[in-house]
A and B are shown apart, each in its own frame.
Chain A
Amino acid sequence: MTVGTLLEVEDLTVWLATRNGPRKAVDGLSFRVDAGEVFGIAGESGSGKTMTAMALLGLLPHAARTGGRAVFEGRDLLAMRPRELRDVRGRSIAMVSQDPSTSLHPMLSIETQVTEHMRHHLGIGRSEARGRAVELLSTVRIPDPERALKAHPAQFSGGMRQRIAIAVALACEPRLLLADEPTTALDVTVQAGILRLLDRLRRERDLAVVVITHDLGVMSAVADRICVMYGGRTAEIGPRETVLTHPRHPYTRGLLDALPHPEGGAATLRPIPGSPPSLGGVPEGCPFHPRCAFAVDSCRAERPDPAPVGSGHRVACPPDPLGGTA
């Protein structure tokens, strides 16, 4: 499936301004995304996963600073001028967010919203744009696309709105789609439809998708490779099956154990004790050590970097307590 690397992120660091000065929301993150691949970034709220997407899109809040590199099709997104970045964003890189009721404009017709970027970025005329919009809406399986163009977002259900938001994102045939919790606000049967749609798009259009979610079930369904983030850092990164069936980082293990067990039975859920660190509250050493059952002295002192443990599998846990069970 690997045709070539589309996006290469190296040592990405994001500082956000807080009352107590700048704090790292993302700390030394590295990963690559290949064309036609679904790459998953998993983590709890505050893990830095959304800030990663915002940094790639140049949509960080004011007073935020970035470090490292994010090379997309040979150019560093982090070093681009706002003008250049605006051109890339919306054209080569598009985004789908969690809540389609806020990402779509409530007062504009679907036609305006789907064709706006096409006409701006591709410089095509109204009728051509309209024809492509009809095609796009039928690609995302909106029934009766001709009529849908004249409608407004409020006339559609949440699932249909998310499909329209995806159509808007696809308008300029981007190479990379960043989907931040694209199904979190949706019901399961609707979620299933959106996940299938994303999977089909990547196969049919060779579209690379970065899915950001806290839901490991969603990860398991669509992602080829997964990066698990904690406290702004990579805990574990590797192929889907390896990470989800043989996790080597205690945090990944904990996340999986906290899920309701597929066969029921246990009657209670097993949460990871404690709660994730807040911005600026990331402890010294391994960010996970205060909640980790396997923590040893060195975990409190040294901040571990992801190290290779298998084919394409890197884990930031030097003691490697789960290594034997793999």
Chain B
Amino acid sequence: MSVLLEATGVAVEYHRQGAAPLRAVDHADLTLARGEILGLVGESGCGKSTLGRAVVGLQRTAAGEIRFDGRPVAPLGLRRRPAGMRGLQMVFQDPYASLNPRRLVGDQVGDGYLLGGTTKAEARRRAGELLERVGLPADAVRRYPHEFSGGQRQRIAIARTLAAEPSCIIADEPISALDASAQASVANLLVELVRELDMGMVFISHDLSVVRQIADRTAVMYLGRVVEVGPTRQVWSEPAHPYTKALISAVPRADGGGVLPVELPGDVPDPSRPPGGCRFHPRCPVALPSCAENDPPLTILRDGRSAACVLAK
């Protein structure tokens, strides 16, 4: 499989007045192949959304390189995005914020075609087709976003990205703002589209069970860094990083067993002052004395797996 998207050593800093810059993402690596779904998981504040925004160019990076289809991704400025970058699109978390409340659905979905150089009438016709493709009635083109439910809005937002004929979609928590019943169907739609159109997708989520179900590979982030990547099945069955292990055993199972999930003691440290050495060592149940000093890089193990832990084999 060919590499579609590659991020190496990406860092993102937020500059705050009168305080040290906050490194929301620090030295994160990601690769995505065509036709692949990569699940990016981690708890709030780990930098997964920031990394997602940096990858499409919505966030300026402080270090590292991002390449899409072999070309470097430049942060979005005042100018138009280069045409070659249109294949890299994003689906946002909140479909109430990601659609303009005062523009017709058809105009918003048709934008992608219009900006690709088709006529207005043609853009509207094809917007109707796209809306049908994502499971909405064709007359949705003449309606406003507020007339739709959360799940339907997210379908509209997905249709809008499809108008740019993308080869890669970054989906930032695309189902977490939706009702339980809409979550599954929107996730299914995304998976279906990725398979059918042979795209790649980075599926960013805090919901581990959904990622486990749909992702080919899973990347786990902790405190701004990717600490483990590998084929989803292996990452789940034998996690290499202690944080991955803690995360997985914290997910309660609906098996009626009455088993309390395992607690990970301590709080996530302040990202502006990450602990020295391995970032996870203060909470790590198996930390060695040396972990407080040496910061392990993401190292390739075997079977396409990598982990950033000295104990990982």
B181 with A44: CB separation less than 8 A? yes
A189 with B246: CB separation less than 8 A? yes
> Would you call A196 an interface residue if the criterion is a C-beta within 8 Å of the partner chain's C-beta atoms?
yes
> Would you call A272 an interface residue if the criterion is a C-beta within 8 Å of the partner chain's C-beta atoms?
yes
B187 with A269: CB separation less than 8 A? yes
B264 with A192: CB separation less than 8 A? yes
- Of all chain A residues, the one with the shortest Cβ separation from B262 is A192
> Would you call B44 an interface residue if the criterion is a C-beta within 8 Å of the partner chain's C-beta atoms?
yes
- Of all chain A residues, the one with the shortest Cβ separation from B152 is A275
How far, in whole Å, are A290 and B86 apart by their CA atoms in the complex?
A: 42
> Would you call B292 an interface residue if the criterion is a C-beta within 8 Å of the partner chain's C-beta atoms?
no
> Would you call A120 an interface residue if the criterion is a C-beta within 8 Å of the partner chain's C-beta atoms?
no
A44 with B179: CB separation less than 8 A? yes
* A276 touching B256 in the complex, CB below 8 Å, given contacts A157-B267, A192-B250, A269-B210: no
A188 with B261: CB separation less than 8 A? yes
- Of all chain B residues, the one with the shortest Cβ separation from A224 is B258
B247 with A244: CB separation less than 8 A? no
For B236-251 the 0/1 string (1 means CB < 8 A from A) is 1000000000110011
- Of all chain B residues, the one with the shortest Cβ separation from A275 is B181
> Would you call B213 an interface residue if the criterion is a C-beta within 8 Å of the partner chain's C-beta atoms?
yes
> Would you call B19 an interface residue if the criterion is a C-beta within 8 Å of the partner chain's C-beta atoms?
no
* A275 touching B182 in the complex, CB below 8 Å, given contacts A160-B267, A264-B232: yes
Contacts of B256 in A (CB 8 A): 220, 240-245
For B242-283 the 0/1 string (1 means CB < 8 A from A) is 000011001111111111111110011000000000000000
> Would you call B78 an interface residue if the criterion is a C-beta within 8 Å of the partner chain's C-beta atoms?
no
Contact of B191 among A187, A193, A267 (CB under 8 A): A267
> Would you call A150 an interface residue if the criterion is a C-beta within 8 Å of the partner chain's C-beta atoms?
no
Contacts of B213 in A (CB 8 A): 260-261, 264, 266-269
**B225 CB, min distance to chain A CBs, angstroms:** 17
> Would you call A125 an interface residue if the criterion is a C-beta within 8 Å of the partner chain's C-beta atoms?
no
**B113 CB, min distance to chain A CBs, angstroms:** 29
**B33 CB, min distance to chain A CBs, angstroms:** 17
Contact of A259 among B44, B179, B181, B209 (CB under 8 A): B209
How far, in whole Å, are A167 and B100 apart by their CA atoms in the complex?
A: 42
Say which one of A2-10, A81-89, A92-100, A211-219 lies at the interface with B: A211-219
> What total of chain A residues lie within 8 Å of the partner, measured CB to CB?
49
**A134 CB, min distance to chain B CBs, angstroms:** 20
* A220 touching B257 in the complex, CB below 8 Å, given contacts A44-B181, A189-B246, A271-B181: yes
**A183 CB, min distance to chain B CBs, angstroms:** 9
- Of all chain B residues, the one with the shortest Cβ separation from A42 is B254
> Would you call B27 an interface residue if the criterion is a C-beta within 8 Å of the partner chain's C-beta atoms?
no
A193 with B263: CB separation less than 8 A? yes
Contact of A241 among B209, B232, B257 (CB under 8 A): B257
> Would you call B184 an interface residue if the criterion is a C-beta within 8 Å of the partner chain's C-beta atoms?
yes
Interface hub of B184, B208, B256, B268 (most chain A Cβ within 10 A): B256
Contacts of B214 in A (CB 8 A): 267-269
Contacts of B181 in A (CB 8 A): 44, 258, 271-272, 274-276
- Of all chain B residues, the one with the shortest Cβ separation from A246 is B256
Interface residues of A in 224-263 (CB under 8 A from B): 224, 240-245, 256, 258-262
A195 with B268: CB separation less than 8 A? no
B255 with A196: CB separation less than 8 A? no
* A268 touching B254 in the complex, CB below 8 Å, given contacts A44-B179, A189-B247, A275-B149: no
How far, in whole Å, are A216 and B236 apart by their CA atoms in the complex?
A: 20
Contacts of B180 in A (CB 8 A): 44-45, 214, 258
**A238 CB, min distance to chain B CBs, angstroms:** 11
**B187 CB, min distance to chain A CBs, angstroms:** 6
> Would you call B212 an interface residue if the criterion is a C-beta within 8 Å of the partner chain's C-beta atoms?
yes
For B145-160 the 0/1 string (1 means CB < 8 A from A) is 0000101000000000
> Would you call A126 an interface residue if the criterion is a C-beta within 8 Å of the partner chain's C-beta atoms?
no
> Would you call A154 an interface residue if the criterion is a C-beta within 8 Å of the partner chain's C-beta atoms?
no
Contacts of A264 in B (CB 8 A): 212-213, 232-233, 236
**B265 CB, min distance to chain A CBs, angstroms:** 8
> Would you call B295 an interface residue if the criterion is a C-beta within 8 Å of the partner chain's C-beta atoms?
no
> Would you call B126 an interface residue if the criterion is a C-beta within 8 Å of the partner chain's C-beta atoms?
no
**B204 CB, min distance to chain A CBs, angstroms:** 14
> Would you call B43 an interface residue if the criterion is a C-beta within 8 Å of the partner chain's C-beta atoms?
yes
Contacts of B208 in A (CB 8 A): 188
> Would you call B188 an interface residue if the criterion is a C-beta within 8 Å of the partner chain's C-beta atoms?
yes
How far, in whole Å, are A45 and B181 apart by their CA atoms in the complex?
A: 9
Contacts of B183 in A (CB 8 A): 269, 271
Interface hub of A243, A256, A260 (most chain B Cβ within 10 A): A260
> Would you call B290 an interface residue if the criterion is a C-beta within 8 Å of the partner chain's C-beta atoms?
no
Interface CB pairs A-B, < 8 A, 15: A45-B179, A157-B268, A159-B267, A188-B43, A189-B43, A191-B252, A192-B252, A215-B252, A220-B252, A220-B253, A240-B256, A259-B209, A268-B214, A274-B181, A275-B151
What would 6 more interface pairs be, CB under 8 Å, given A189-B43, A199-B260, A264-B233? A187-B206, A189-B246, A189-B247, A221-B252, A264-B213, A275-B149
- A residues adjacent to B (C-beta < 8 A): 44-45, 157-160, 187-193, 195-196, 199, 214-222, 224, 240-245, 256, 258-262, 264, 266-272, 274-276
Closest 4 A/B residue pairs (Cβ): A244-B256, A271-B184, A217-B252, A260-B213
